[in-house]
Structure formats: structure tokens, C-alpha cells
Amino acid sequence: MQKKNQLILALDVTNKAQALSISKEVAYFADAIKIGYPLVLGTGLGIIGQLTEFAPIIADFKVADIPNTDRLICSQAFEAGASAVIVHGFTGRDSLVECVRTAREYNREIFVVTEMSHPGALDFMQPVAGGLARMAVECRASGVVAPATRPESVKEIRRIVGNLTIISPGVGAQGGRASDAIRAGADYVIVGRSIYGSKTPGKEAEKIVNEIEKCR
């Protein structure tokens, strides 16, 4: 993934034609497209290969299992053409090490979820986010996911992860601002509904890119 516009499209639609037409319209502005269970369950794993025509694909499978199962899941995503897989860290070090090892085999990347962006993240995740971020560094993950809804948390996670990549969801529909997340230390913002839910997804993406450009 090449850092150009610092925008990742979260393509949480379930229909293939819609996924392809939105990707075509937004590809010029997005450095990557993140897909997850909604689109893969709706259309099949082959959608990853089809979308690689538009941008590098991040498979958001929030992998959270024993090392062997994690390896099988990551391998499937990489075989399908994903450039990166998003995994949970709370399952522990051995699971994360296996994900990173699998990614290395394919010369691909792993991103680890730290604190999530929704209010419920305060129940369990926020207190352990620093530990998850430290483990991501120690296990040599490529980067972490941190919440655009809480720029102060992004700042703290940046302090911990040094030069690891931070990708940050929660902009727009969840109330976060792209510029705040980038200023707090995020490398990329992840945006879904405000783009794919718009009648003019390309224009929405362009607006966000312009906002980010102003704070560089």
C-alpha cells in the first residue's frame, strides 16, 4: 500500500455490482480498499481478486483464534489476493506470531486491532490497548488499527508503536474527523458509510482527501 491520499475505503456493501461500481468511482482517491465479512459473505472470497484491479485489498477478518486456525484463515486471504489481513491481538502472542509468520511467507502485511472506535470499546479494550500495541511492535506486525473517534488514543498508540503504520476508522458516520485522526498520528483514515452511502461516493472521497491534504 503506497501512502498517497491517506484514505482507505471500507467497502461494507454486500452486493457485487455495487462493490465494483463504488470501487471504480473511489479508486482514484483511495490508497487501499478494506473489505470484510459483509462483502465476502455476500459475494464470496473471489471478490478480493476482482477488487485488486482498483486498489490493494485489506482483508478485515479480525482474525481471533488459535495459531493454526489463524494461519489457515490468513493463507486463504493471501491466496485470494489480499495485501494485508487485520487480526485481533487479544488472543495472545502465539496467535499473532503465527499471523505475522504467514504474512511473511506471502510477503504481505498484518494489522492488529488495538482500541476499537465504538463506545463499547471502553468496556474491555481501552484498558489493554497499550499492551496490544506493544505486542504488535514486538511481533513485527506492519501496523495497528486505532480509533479516529478518540484522537487522544491515537496519539498514545502512536507513542507506543513508533513508526509502525496506524490505520484509523471512525471518521464520518461514527463522529470522528479525518483531520483530527491524521494530526493525532494516524497514517490513514478508514471511511465507510459516508463514502459508500453517498449518491456521489467519488466526491465524498475527494472531500476527505482535501481535508487531509490541508493538515499536512
Residues assigned a catalytic role: 62
The 10 Å CB-count burial string (b at 16+, else e) for 163-199 is: ebbbbbbbbbebebbbbbbbebbbbbbbbbebbbebe
- Residues 57 and 175: their CA atoms lie apart, in Å, by 25
Cα–Cα distances (Å) from 85 to 48, 107, 149, 168, 212, in that order, read 12, 12, 22, 15, 25
Phi and psi at 30, nearest 5°, equal -100, 135
Which residue from 82, 191, 205, 208 is in contact with ligand O7M, where contact means CB under 6 A? 191
Closest CB to ligand O7M among residues 135, 145:
145
**Which residue of the chain is nearest ligand O7M when measured via CB?**
192
Range 87-126, binding ligand O7M (CB under 6 A):
113, 116-117
Q: How far is the CB of 75 from ligand O7M (least distance, A)?
A: 19
Among 173, 198, 206, 211, binds ligand O7M (CB under 6 A): 173
Residues in the chain: 216
Phi-psi region of 6 (alpha: psi -120 to 50; beta: other; left: phi over 0): left
Which of the residues 122 through 161 are near ligand O7M (CB under 6 A)? Answer: 145, 147
Distance of CA 158 to the CA centre of its chain: 16
Question: Segment near ligand O7M (CB under 6 A), from 25-33, 66-74, 169-177, 205-213?
Answer: 169-177
Using CB under 6 A as the binding rule, whether residue 86 contacts ligand O7M is answered as yes
* One of 20, 32, 190, 208 touching ligand O7M (CB under 6 A): 190
* In the complex, minimum distance from the CB of residue 207 to ligand O7M, in angstroms, rounded to a whole number: 14
CB of residue 190 vs ligand O7M: minimum separation in angstroms? 5
How many residues line the site for ligand O7M (CB under 6 A)?
A: 20
Phi, psi of 37 (to 5 degrees): -60, -40
Q: Say how many Å lie between the first and final Cα of the chain, rounded.
A: 19
Minimum Å gap between C-beta 198 and ligand O7M is 11
Residue 191, H or E segment: strand 188-191
By CB under 6 A, residue 208 contacts ligand O7M? no
31 lines the binding site for ligand O7M (CB under 6 A): no
Binding stretches for ligand O7M (CB under 6 A):
10, 12, 36, 60, 62, 86, 113, 116-117, 145, 147, 169-170, 172-174, 190-193
